[in-house]
A = this chain, B = another copy of it.
Amino acid sequence: MEQALTIGAVAERTGVAPSALRYYEAEGLITSTRTDGNQRRYHRDVLRRVSFVKVAQQVGLSLGEIHEALASLPESRTPTQEDWSRISRAWRPRLDEQIHLIERLRDRLDGCIGCGCLSLKACRLLNPGDHAGEHGSGPRYLIGDEDE
């Protein structure tokens, strides 16, 4: 027989508070069945969904976007690899872009090494008023404070 999880059990196993789980349900991110006494009982699949929500959130996605992605998962059966793969294909560009963004922030902080100039201050792309970098246009950096 399928073991049904109580809200407390799911909370403990996912590290997400019961109140948050109810909220997610109200938002349509997860579903539950009810006992005769109206208490929620969760299928184990919900653990994966909740974990997915958590990670996606850390990556900077809103619950709305996550909802949209999860909506493509079947409700009636445990999602297959292909089900998740569909989400993957949809998100991949976004995730790649996000990685890129962080890498550039990291590299930029590391002294603008990427573009070969020696300092942020001297980098024409970042501080174009400076006489230091007259040549070329180099890689486009992050958010350029495009000052002529």
Instruction: Using CB atoms and an 8 Å cutoff, list the residues of chain A in contact with chain B.
Output: 13-15, 44, 47-48, 50-52, 54-56, 58-60, 78-82, 84-85, 87-88, 91-92, 95-96, 98-99, 101-106, 108-112, 118-121, 126-127, 129, 139-140, 142-147
Contacts and interface: CB of A to CB of B under 8 A. Distances in A.
A119 B54 CA distance: 19
B99 A111 contact: no
Nearest to A106: B95
Q: Is the interface of A mostly helix, strand, loop or mixed?
A: helix
Contacts of A14: 143, 145
B13 A81 contact: no
Given A59-B101, A105-B56, A81 B143 contact: no
A3 to B, nearest CB: 9
Contacts of A140: 15, 54
Most central of A59, A60, A143 by chain B CB within 10 Å: A143
Nearest to A52: B143
9 contacts: A44-B129, A44-B147, A51-B143, A51-B145, A54-B140, A59-B60, A78-B121, A79-B120, A80-B120
